[in-house]
Amino acid sequence: MKAKVFVNLKSGVLDPQGKAIHHSVELLGFTGISDVRQGKYFEIALDGSVDQQQARESVEKMAREVLSNPIIEDYRVEIEA
Amino acid sequence: MKFGVIVFPGSNCDHDAYHVISKHVGQPVDFIWHRETDLSTYDAVIIPGGFSYGDYLRAGALARFSPVMNSVSKFAESGRFVLGICNGFQILCEAGLLPGALIRNRDLHFICDHVHVRVETSDSPFTNEIQAGSVLRIPIAHAEGNYVCDDQTLDELKKEDRIVFRYCDPAGTITEAANPNGSRDNIAGICNRQRNVLGLMPHPERACEDLLGSSDGRDIFRSLAATLAAAV
């Protein structure tokens, strides 16, 4: 079983790295981009000792307490069997 | 009075802080390895600058889980004094001992420069020897010093007089041009509600000798020493 955790800055929080990437991809000639936000992606391998529901609960807790800072970031958890 | 300087893997301003306390404040000071948990003999601890845990995940995020941080929380609750400098400020925010967060600088660069900060209040154990409105010249050295918080937190900080330092120009005027990193309201340092925990991005410990370009940082350590002397 694998858990995927996506962490992104909340919409109101300035993302200077996203801005710089936005600028760079436009310099490369890509057009039609209205915004770029940079986030983080975690893959957590689970050994299968807990069921999907329990895995989700513990990974949600991990995401909330460690992987993201709730003051500036949102997270989303996906569990893959 | 006794000081402790907490050392995480990756701390690199620990010796500067130790030097300032032993030489300029003239008080006993110990290094405290991050796996220690007994802070009972200390009156004040300094969480120094550096790159604890290599800034992995987020600056300060992993240091928060070191065994010593539990003790630091209790230490702060008991009313004793905690000073977080640079990475120490980031750690205190991550640990929830101070509100808000420090994100990437507005212009992305790591900034290493002398800046001016205005002391916004004398009503703190760290600034009681400094007149409010004074301008200190202190260096900064960080990539993630852009202070953010929500509107409610900012209102509380203002109302409770907890913004201790703000970036300003040499004359003491708060301007956008004098804001090196994009911090909300030019905030350079804040304290908690009980006023015994202070976090700031500038490095006062690097501004304690004229030879290094400024000795303005001494006033902060002198204030803390005066507070402790009065408490004993």
With CB atoms and an 8 Å threshold, state whether B104 touches A71. no
Q: What are phi and psi of A36, to 5 degrees?
A: -130, 130
- For residue B232, the model assigns a pLDDT of 67
Range of the domain at A72: 2-80
Of B86, B93, B149, B208, which one is the catalytic site residue?
A: B86
**pLDDT, one tens digit for every residue, chain A (81 residues):** 999 999 999 998 989 999 999 999 999 999 999 999 999 999 999 998 999 999 999 999 999 999 999 999 999 999 998
Query: How many domains would you assign to chain A?
Result: 1
Mean pLDDT rounded to a whole number for chain B: 97
> Which chain A residues are closer than 8 Å to B94 by Cβ?
69
- Known active-site residue B191: no
pTM of the model: 0.94
With CB atoms and an 8 Å threshold, state whether A16 touches B105. yes
* Residue-wise pLDDT tens digits, B82-120: 999 999 999 999 999 999 999 999 999 999 999 999 999
Residue A65, SS3 per DSSP:
helix
Residue B224, domain CATH: 3.40.50.880
Cβ-Cβ pairs closer than 8 A, A with B, add up to 37
* Residue-wise pLDDT tens digits, B70-80: 999 999 999 99
Query: How many domains would you assign to chain B?
Result: 1
Of B116, B144, B205, B208, which one is the catalytic site residue?
A: B205
Residue A73, domain CATH: 3.30.1280.10
- Strand stretches in chain B, DSSP E: 3-7, 29-33, 44-47, 81-85, 101-103, 111-119, 135-142, 146-148, 163-168, 187-191, 197-200
* Residue-wise pLDDT tens digits, B152-206: 999 999 999 999 999 999 999 999 999 999 999 999 999 999 999 999 999 999 9
ipTM: 0.86
Nearest residue of A to residue B102, measured between CA atoms: A72
Range of the domain at B207: 3-231
